[in-house]
Amino acid sequence: MDDLFLVVGLGNPGNRYDNTKHNVGFETIDLLAEKHNIRVSKLKHKALYGDGTIEGKKVILAKPQTFMNLSGESVREMADWYKLPMKNIILIYDDIDLQLGKIRVRPKGSAGTHNGMRSILYQLQSEDFPRIRIGIGRPPEGWDLADYVLSKFNADERKTISESVVQAAEAVSVIIKSGAEAAMNKCNK
């Protein structure tokens, strides 16, 4: 279905992961849902999801409920169910290789160090879908990576990340309306 977009934010389910670095994808979905009056409350394909319209196109907003490392199972089920071309699947997730708050849009690419994305690339057998990465910065010296990505934002970081989530949501709209290249030109500063 060429006129349907699947927008997936990555994160971990459950209140204890709210405001953690690994959950900026979920936050972006929540903001998009609020902004476009989409209720993300149905449970199917191992995801919480809702459908509506963004930029005049049909969209499904989804938050996989598998925990991060198995996100691909949920994304593949939805991609298969809706028979989506790869270019209509938009992923939003955190990236330790970008400084805190920086946004990067790419039309395709590797998983880098992100286990959720590794799972998705493996399950979809493709890397040809647009993605929006939100920088969370590298862990401080001596921190374990898993502890860092599951840690909560402090007040200063929160302010920066809240702005980034707004930018990521705008990037989704640009991708839907004009494609990943246009979003790269507008959002990659």
DSSP 111-179: -TT-HHHHHHHHHHT---S-EEEEE--PPPTT--HHHHHTSBP-HHHHHHHHHHHHHHHHHHHHHHHH-
CA angle 70, 76, 39 (to 5 degrees): 90
Return the number of other C-beta atoms located less than 10 Å from residue 72's C-beta: 23
Name the catalytic one among 22, 36, 45, 114.
22
114 labelled catalytic: no
Residues 3 and 149: their CA atoms lie apart, in Å, by 34
Category of 129 on φ-ψ map: left (φ > 0), alpha (ψ -120 to 50) or beta:
beta
- Cβ pair 119, 80 in contact under 8 A: no
Q: Please give the positions annotated as active site.
A: 22
